[in-house]
């Protein structure tokens, strides 16, 4: 099923500082339905970083260079939106990665059950995985319902709650009046408002200041400072 947050979850993993400290090399590639071993290998090589021009190179050249990049290193490669069920194609694609260090990982997101069956999957999270924090189970499930199945709302609220392990803190979010301040059925705006509401005061000022710039505006953070007063 599309739109349930597979890519959003993978992005959280990929961008997490703890993950960055574990792996020597990281790469993110959007595979999509048009699976081509040459194109995907080239995209991975460019994502890990290379000073050489990869345009027009054949698969052998690309795989040799990719193998050099991951040789003896612990890598994380995320392949997003995979549809290909051709095992032979995957066998070719994964060849350079066998040179990586133990502990390397390739994480795949897919809505195709055939792909997950071919690769093998870990058990999905279910209600039993709340066992570590049983007092948060019911509250957490009620908060999830407030997100209306929207990935952005869920990741925003998840970011807010991940360092808060007390039931009272979770109840404060669950029963916040902000959930009722927008149109019926909207989970995005209340989630964003709650996230802003719980920011430290200095970050609220930064957020408000940045809102005066037009969409897409680029600036160097070193050129700006917010003065108290």
Encode pLDDT of 19-63 as tens digits.
888 999 999 888 877 778 898 889 889 888 877 888 888 999 999
The three-point CA angle 120-109-59 to 5° equals 85
Nearest Cα to 133, choosing from 100, 169, 83? 169
- Cite the residue boundaries of each domain of the chain with CATH code 3.40.50.300: 6-119
**Assessment of whether the complete model's pTM goes beyond 0.75:** no
Using DSSP, state whether 220 is helix, strand or coil. coil
Encode pLDDT of 150-208 as tens digits.
777 888 888 888 777 788 888 988 888 888 776 655 667 888 888 888 888 888 888 88
Q: Does residue 219 come out as left (phi exceeding 0), alpha (psi in the -120 to 50 range) or beta?
A: beta
CB-based contact 7:81 (threshold 8 Å)? yes
CA distances from 154 to 111, 227, 228 (A): 19, 34, 33
Torsion angle of the four alpha carbons 2, 87, 77, 10, in this order, in degrees rounded to the nearest 10: 20
CATH superfamily of 6-119: P-loop containing nucleotide triphosphate hydrolases (3.40.50.300)
């Amino acid at each position: 099923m599309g739109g349930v947050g597979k890519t959003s979850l993978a992005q959280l993993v990929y961008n997490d500082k703890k993950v960055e400290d574990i792996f020597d090399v990281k790469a993110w590639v959007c595979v999509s339905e048009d699976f081509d071993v040459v194109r995907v290998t080239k995209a991975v090589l460019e994502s890990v970083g290379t000073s050489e021009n990869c345009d027009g190179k054949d698969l052998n050249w690309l795989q040799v260079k990719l193998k050099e990049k991951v040789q003896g290193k612990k890598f994380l490669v995320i392949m997003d939106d995979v549809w290909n069920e051709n095992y032979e194609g995957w066998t070719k694609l994964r060849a350079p990665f066998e040179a990586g260090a133990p502990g390397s990982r390739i994480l795949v997101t897919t809505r195709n059950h055939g792909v997950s069956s071919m690769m093998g999957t870990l058990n999905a999270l279910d209600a039993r995985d709340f066992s570590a924090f049983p007092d948060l189970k019911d509250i957490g499930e009620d908060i999830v319902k407030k997100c209306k199945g929207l990935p952005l709302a869920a990741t925003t609220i998840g970011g807010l709650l991940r360092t808060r392990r007390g039931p009272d803190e979770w109840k404060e979010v669950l029963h916040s009046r902000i959930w009722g301040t927008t149109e019926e059925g909207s989970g995005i705006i209340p989630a964003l408002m709650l996230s802003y509401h719980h920011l430290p005061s200095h970050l609220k000022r930064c957020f408000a200041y940045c809102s005066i710039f037009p969409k897409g505006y680029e600036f160097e953070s070193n050129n700006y400072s917010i003065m108290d007063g």
